[in-house]
Amino acid sequence: MKNKTAILVLLLTFLVSVGTTLKAQSEILQKLHEIAIVDQKVMMPMRDGVRLATDIYRPKTGGPVPIIFSRTPYNFNTWQDGKESTRALETAYKMVEQGYAYVVQNERGRYFSEGEWDILGTPLTDGYDAFTWMKDQSWSNGKIGTLGCSSTAEWQMAVAALDHPSHAAMVPQGFGAGVGTVGKFQEQGNWYRGGAEQLLFFSWLYGVEHDKFKPRIPEGATQEDLIRISRFYDLGPENPPVDMLDALSHLPIQDILKNINGKKEIFDGMVTRKPNDPAWYKGGLYHDTMDFGVPSFWFASWYDVSISPNIALFNHVRKNASDASIRDNQYLVIAPTLHCAYTRATEDTRVGERSVGDARLNYEEQIMAWFDLWLKDAPNDFKAETPRVQYYTMGSNKWQSSEEWPPKNAKMTSYYLSSGGNANTLKGDGVLTTKVPKDNNTDSFTYDPMNPVMSYGGNVCCTGNAIKGGAFDQQVMEEREDILVYTTEPLKKGVEVSGFIETKLYVSSDAKDTDFTIKLIDVYPDGRAYNLDETIQRVRYREGYDKEVFMEDGKVYEVNLTPMATSNYFKEGHSIRVEISSSNFPRFARNLNTGGDNYNEKDGVIANNKIHHGKKQASEIRLPIVQ
């Protein structure tokens, strides 16, 4: 009886929640109708005949207006319960109120849009064709800005490379860095980091890949038909909830979605694709060889999954765009938040367990000023009042500004790993020092892929219940023997670290291949140890991603990890710490240490790994210390 009562309470709570959400959506839609012409389920034609489902909200005015355009793989059906639909209506109301038309569209193959969907394969021409259609409408002034976060941002950079004359400005948020060489990163649409798979897409695809067998609307359905259908059926099935931590633990990883009865056609084509596969360049993402033609206001987060490549892409555009005016019109905001959580900053912003103070910023005001500058005829003072880079420094808990990233007054300073040969765990003798250790020494640990170091906080996105993102006290993790801990003495003077963090390790192993991971940590006087950023390197790719070079037992190799990034003030009495290990799971896929393909293997081997340090092999981390 108790179980039945509990189930009934949960069901009633759910129904009340859904009812409240739908009531709020109905109210804001009613408000929209008061100030806007609402035109939903417009089927916008692409050059190949495929039509994309589009909702248009435009001011009740006689004159032409500029357009804010969002294209997304997510469901924005205003007649269904959901965050995306509520967000679309709220954004539409704000934009119309400011004198803009707001246009939101599903990618091809998603929901009511025709065609076949592919996570990386949406044709670039879809964006270009949409711009052309919109600028030709009688209510358009011919100027279009793009806006969106995460997957709603990923497509913007590649379309910016096409330089459509109406694409006047964009605001990409929580974006990836595309495909190719961007700064010191070799990018594959965020699938890999340092040659190790980021398991976020394994989880994300389980939630969204359902298009192949969705019901298809009959050809010739009218707009009236589509609106009526969308009131009771939104083509948005949901997979059953799963324990994603358990799901991601399945081996081989190529069967993860199959094991939980997920759709896997797109996944199957990607999980076997190595970092240098030419297929990465066939999709709809930005490639490093492309030009860039649009003024951009970028938004990134310190605890987002691709923070370092994000900043590197901003620098890449500022350096490589062929048009000097485009190079000069790139601006960046870096917030102390999780993925796409900019506006959730409060007077006491908490990212995981750590308070980083009052991190609020007038995001919406700045975004609207940016669009006003480029999409309306009257210029404003955005450029005079807005710094090139606005970044939040944790620890000192304040917004700062710079003309470039890293800040010009940041000087790279080497901190060397040292120990008496026992840096294992928090209780070991590992230290960080600014002087090269006189004695050569090694620290050893055993990496068992069947017992990996679990992700605890960090820079994450889209992994369901598998990982909680943000800063968490790492002391509990540092009790493990397979984590090497290196810490400075308590600082006599506060130190600000703002910029990219570089790591060079000298390593050896009895395995043909293994991974090495690192975390940068702020240690408080009471022992709390908050993670700032993390990265990984698969050793077979230490000489580049175009070849695999395996290890020989006992031989020492230099390994340069992909850079990290942060802005953090280590206060007086705090310490700077790094953790070194060989796994960070399920943020990254486990290396099974066999030297095989990894994606099709289920049996791993134990690797006995060593970090070498001293005069001959000076393992180090280089920190950008602000002078």
CA–CA dist 419, 537 (Å, integer): 23
CA–CA dist 123, 420 (Å, integer): 57
Enter the tokens of residue 100.
């803009």
DSSP letter (8 states) at residue 470: B
Question: CA nearest 537: which of 249, 192, 202, 203?
Answer: 192
SS3 557: strand
Question: CA nearest 255: which of 584, 598, 594, 599?
Answer: 599
CA–CA dist 316, 157 (Å, integer): 12
Q: What's the helix, strand, coil split of the chain in %, to 5?
A: 25, 30, 40
- Report helix angle 2-35 to 83-97, nearest 10: 20
Q: Which long-range contacts (CB under 8 A, 24 or more apart) does 450-453 make?
A: 450/604, 452/583, 452/584, 452/585, 452/590, 453/477, 453/480, 453/482, 453/483, 453/517, 453/581, 453/582, 453/583, 453/584, 453/585
Contact 556, 507 (CB under 8 A): yes
SS3 375: helix
CA–CA dist 12, 229 (Å, integer): 27
Residue with tokens 């005079």: 384
CA–CA dist 410, 341 (Å, integer): 27
b (16+ CB within 10 A) / e for 458-483: bbbbbbbebbebbbbbbeebbebebb
| Active site annotation includes 151 | no
| Active site annotation includes 210 | no
Question: Which position among 126, 211, 234, 304 bears the catalytic label?
Answer: 304
| Active site annotation includes 515 | no
Question: Which position among 164, 167, 339, 613 bears the catalytic label?
Answer: 339
Pairing between strand 36-45 and 51-59? antiparallel
C-alpha separations of 223 from 51, 426, 461, 622 in Å: 12, 64, 36, 59
In Å, how far from its chain's centre is CA 296? 18
**CA atoms lying within 13 Å on the CB side of residue 609:** 32
Q: What secondary structure does DSSP assign to 271-293, as a single string?
A: HT--TT-GGGGGSSS-BTTS---
C-alpha separations of 268 from 108, 245, 253, 280 in Å: 20, 20, 10, 14
Question: Which position among 70, 113, 150, 575 bears the catalytic label?
Answer: 150
For 555, counting Cβ atoms within 10 Å of its Cβ (0-12 exposed, 13-18 middle, 19+ buried), the class is exposed
Question: CA nearest 98: which of 69, 66, 130?
Answer: 66
* Beta strand spans in 150-212 (E): 167-173, 179-182, 185-188, 192-193, 196-197
Catalytic sites, residue numbers: 150, 304, 339
